[in-house]
Amino acid sequence: MKKKTNFIEIEKSKKIWAIGSIHSRNIAFESIKKYLLKKFEKNDALVFLGNIIGLGAESKKTLSSVLDLRNNLMSKFHLDPEKIIFLRGAQEEMFLKLLQLQTAPNPNDIVKWMFEHGVDATIKSYGFNREELLQISTQGTIPISKWTSRLNSSILSQPGHNQYFINLKHAAYTSTKKILFLNRGVDISRPLSAQNDCFWWGYQNFSNLNNPYNTFIRIVRGYKSSNNEKIKDVNKRIVCSLFNQPLDNPKILAGIFDDSGKILDIFESN
């Protein structure tokens, strides 16, 4: 039995597909999904780089579509479950913290902050009202616990959703240790095992990394906070960001990589 870990090693896959932050853009994701179903091949691997949910209005629907893609690929190619990897992004991190809101020292402040960052759209997609939660978050542990129990029940009623949230990884890398997949960044002064929240909150000037991080000559991430990294320069960079600002950009970026870190293709949704 393999030891449970926050990291996953991609083995025996020469071609790895990676999908950047979706942010609940279900229509855009459907075009990526259609293309991937046509082009994916046996022994390929697929990494979702976090932020499947959040910001957009269709978190629940988008996550169900993502899980449907997983099921289709696994059935068609008899894939090992570890060939399709889901990484934790900031949206998933906030949503998981929301499910434990009753333990927070200042729940109302936390809810307001999360709503400013797009989590209100996710709870709405599961049938919950933002104003109700804002009010409940001021009422103490018992009312909050009842609310989080209702949200958990809603998640459990959606096939695969609970398993998705409890099995998110922090990062993935190939067995060659040449290419690293994550949501936003790493603290380059620390090993992977000693990272804190940099994976989904980022690290200062990470886009401008000029030297390999440990043995990783390519780092593929699903989110970036500014436009200073131009996609046309991506082959010359250590960091390849599969996301283009602004946040309301309707397009989703995806890429294909080999296990040595080479970029085989970068494409976007229709």
User: What is the mean predicted confidence (pLDDT) over 6-22?
Assistant: 96
Reported as a single tens digit per residue, the pLDDT across 124-162 is 999 999 999 999 999 999 999 999 999 999 999 999 999
| Dihedral over Cα of 127, 131, 132, 138: its sign | positive
CATH annotation of 7-50+59-88+170-268: 3.60.21
Q: How far apart are CA 87 and CA 245, in angstroms?
A: 20
Average pLDDT, the chain: 94
Share of the chain above pLDDT 90, in %: 87
Residue 233: pLDDT band (50, 70, 90) is low
Peptide bond preceding 246: is omega within 30 degrees of 0, i.e. cis? yes
Q: How far apart are CA 106 and CA 108, in angstroms?
A: 6
Task: Enter the pTM of the model.
Answer: 0.95
Provide the 10 A C-beta neighbour count for residue 9. Answer: 12
Q: Which residues pair with 9 in a beta bridge?
A: 173
Provide the 10 A C-beta neighbour count for residue 238. Answer: 19
Reported as a single tens digit per residue, the pLDDT across 51-96 is 999 999 999 999 999 999 999 999 999 999 999 999 999 999 999 9
Q: What is the pLDDT of residue 234?
A: 66
pLDDT at 1 over 50: no
- DSSP state string for the chain: -PPP-SEEEE-S-SEEEEE---TT-HHHHHHHHHHHHHH--TT-EEEE-S--SSSSS-HHHHHHHHHHHHHHHHHHHT--GGGEEEB--HHHHHHHHHTTGGG-SSHHHHHHHHHHTTHHHHHHHTT--HHHHHHHTTS-HHHHHHHHHHHHHHHHTSTTHHHHHHT-BSEEEETTS-EEEESS---TTS-GGG--SHHHH--TTGGG--S-BTTBSEEEES--SSS-S-GGGGGG-SEEE---SSTT----EEEEEETTS-EEEEEE--
* Per-domain boundaries in the chain: 7-50+59-88+170-268, 93-156
User: What is the mean predicted confidence (pLDDT) over 256-263?
Assistant: 96
Instruction: Measure Cα distances from 267 to 18, 32, 66, 123, 185 in Å.
Output: 10, 9, 18, 30, 21
| Residue 173 · residue 9 · CB < 8 Å | yes
